[in-house]
């Protein structure tokens, strides 16, 4: 399936801090799925500076932002 294992990305965008998100990204990159998906890891790394301002928002707002595509 196309999305097997991509649930491993959830800890990144649901992290409570940018530092925790970065640790989650590194954990995903080191995982079996992450090592098979270097393009996915690369997208996150290239967009990191655009992503981390999300953590300046309150948790309730972040939740709305990352769930708008569901």
State pLDDT tens for residues 12-69. Answer: 999 999 999 999 999 999 999 999 999 999 999 999 999 999 999 998 888 888 765 5
pTM: predicted TM-score of the whole model, two decimal places: 0.83
* 37 vs 68: CA distance, rounded Å: 24
Looking at residue 64, what is its pLDDT? 85
Q: Are 29 and 35 in contact (CB under 8 A)?
A: yes
The structure tokens listed for 59 are: 């948790």
Q: Which residues are CB-contacts of 32 (< 8 A; sequence separation ≥ 6)? A: 5
């Amino acid at each position: 399936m196309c999305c097997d294992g991509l649930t491993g990305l959830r800890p990144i965008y649901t992290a409570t801090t940018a530092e925790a998100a970065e640790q989650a990204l590194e954990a995903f990159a080191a995982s079996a799925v992450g090592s098979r998906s270097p393009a996915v890891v690369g997208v996150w790394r290239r967009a990191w500076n655009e992503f981390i301002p999300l953590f300046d928002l309150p948790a309730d707002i972040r939740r709305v932002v990352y769930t708008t595509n569901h």
